[in-house]
Structure 1
Amino acid sequence: MSHTPPADLLKKAQFWRDDIQFRQDVLGKPFDFTTTWGIFSPEKLDDGSLMLLDYVDFQSDDDSIDLGCGYGVLGMTAARECPNGKHTLIDKDFVAVDYARQNCLKNGLNNVEVHLSNGFNEVDPTKDFSLVMSNLPAKVGKEQHYLYLLDAHAKMREGGRFYVVTINGLRQFMKRAFTEVFGNSDKVKQGKTYTITMAVKE
């Protein structure tokens, strides 16, 4: 005997397939976002990213990279706050990359490049960066975190800054890893849930 899913579930599923649209202020100015279920924090910007952006020292001519961009908020903010720079957004999730690209276009950001990359594997080898930002996921494992840090170090200019936001449980690891890779680590801010850590390429 065949089974048919309930009509109300099928109706909800149709709603879930539709893009999610929302507007939210970032550093006091609005962005419009299009997202979808299945990518991180689809209905509103996550608290970790917003906390990170409050503490980044943006320079107008920074060339930045948003590592693991999701639907784009870190890289988009850099593009707006650093209009004289060029900004790269990368993610290993092709759906996230598609939405990040849409969001950059929707918000009129033309100093950006968004593409699929597993870490820095597909980043243009001729590029280097003065600013690296990442909302580092806890679940990818310490090996992947080290690869991100080592690859970033190789692509950064002298004096470049690397800001990460992590859950508090990773703060000691980040301090140790940054110190190993960069020779320095600065805990910029610790909140109830998240910690922002920064290193400078010397």
Structure 2
Amino acid sequence: MTIKTTLTELQHKAKTWRNDITFTQDVLGKPFSFATTWGIFSPEKLDDGSLMLLDYIDFKDDDTSIDLGCGYGVLGMTAARECPNGQHFLIDKDFVAVEYARLNCEKNGLKNTHVQLSNGFNQVDNTQKFSLVMSNLPAKASKEQHYLYLLDAYERMEMGGRFYVVTINGLRDFMKRSFTEVFGNSDKIKQGKTYTVTLAVKE
């Protein structure tokens, strides 16, 4: 016999679901504390794609970076910690993600971060230049949106700047083609069972 959950039981569970989800997880061998909520991507633990990407980024002390589609902040937060002499921008078009990314930067004492609501680069100071661009590109975004990210990043990057992305393997050929079209180069850094890390450099 199937026992149905009653409305009262669901309402009781909902009180818990409305609370922040909190956890601590190591990133590049050092712990970060996170607060998240339901409705944000991978709310209960860091996603494997982002962790794989971070393993292959060549961080430099003075990088100024931007995390495109930051979610609750792990890429930009890691850049801020690994590149203490640079400034680090975390942007997302989801206001809830931005709220939690800002909270997580504060929780972890990161003073060299700037978190803001922006659809791609639309709301980012157009005089700001970046030596490092990072993104866990969503598979569900349209190819037009992906191209806009790449074209806008190219305009905002310093010469020699690096753009690292992680995608599901099904997008690896698209990333190779689109990076080559926009940047003139594309380097597959790592391909795993599910994800691929790809790099383009502004030359």
Paired residue for 1:147? 148
The CA distance in 2 between the partners of 1:114 and 1:9, in whole Å, is 35
Alpha-carbon deviation of 1:125? 1.0
Paired residue for 1:156? 157
Instruction: Give secondary structure in 1 for the equivalent of 2:50.
Output: helix
Structure 1 residues without counterparts, runs of 5 or longer? none
The CA distance in 1 between the partners of 2:187 and 2:9, in whole Å, is 51
The CA distance in 2 between the partners of 1:189 and 1:8, in whole Å, is 46
Paired residue for 1:122? 123
Q: In structure 2, what residue type is equivalent to 1:21?
A: T
Q: How does 1:74-89 map to 2 (within 5 A)?
A: 74-89=75-90
Runs of 4 or more consecutive aligned structure 1 residues displaced over 2 Å after TM superposition: none
Instruction: Give secondary structure in 2 for the equivalent of 1:139.
Output: coil
The CA distance in 1 between the partners of 2:24 and 2:82, in whole Å, is 18
Q: How does 1:45-56 map to 2 (within 5 A)?
A: 45-56=46-57
Structure 2 residues without counterparts, runs of 5 or longer? 1-5
Instruction: Give secondary structure in 2 for the equivalent of 1:70.
Output: coil
The reply on whether 1:12 has 2:13 as its aligned counterpart is: yes
Show CA shifts across 1:84-136 (max 9, x none).
00000000000000000000000000000000000000001110000000000
Paired residue for 1:58? 59
Instruction: Give secondary structure in 2 for the equivalent of 1:138.
Output: coil
Q: TM-score, normalised by structure 2?
A: 0.97
Paired residue for 2:178? 177
The CA distance in 2 between the partners of 1:87 and 1:151, in whole Å, is 17
Q: TM-score, normalised by structure 1?
A: 0.97
Instruction: Give secondary structure in 1 for the equivalent of 2:140.
Output: helix
Show CA shifts across 1:50-106 (max 9, x none).
000000000000000000000000000000000000000000000000000000000
The CA distance in 2 between the partners of 1:124 and 1:103, in whole Å, is 23
Paired residue for 2:32? 31
Paired residue for 2:41? 40
The CA distance in 2 between the partners of 1:157 and 1:76, in whole Å, is 21
Show CA shifts across 1:140-199 (max 9, x none).
110000000000000000000000000000000000000000000000000000000000
The CA distance in 1 between the partners of 2:135 and 2:127, in whole Å, is 21
Q: In structure 2, what residue type is equivalent to 1:112?
A: T
Instruction: Give secondary structure in 2 for the equivalent of 1:115.
Output: strand
The CA distance in 1 between the partners of 2:141 and 2:177, in whole Å, is 17
Q: In structure 1, what residue type is equivalent to 2:190?
A: K
Instruction: Give secondary structure in 2 for the equivalent of 1:95.
Output: helix
The CA distance in 2 between the partners of 1:56 and 1:30, in whole Å, is 18
Identity level (%): 79
The CA distance in 1 between the partners of 2:54 and 2:154, in whole Å, is 21
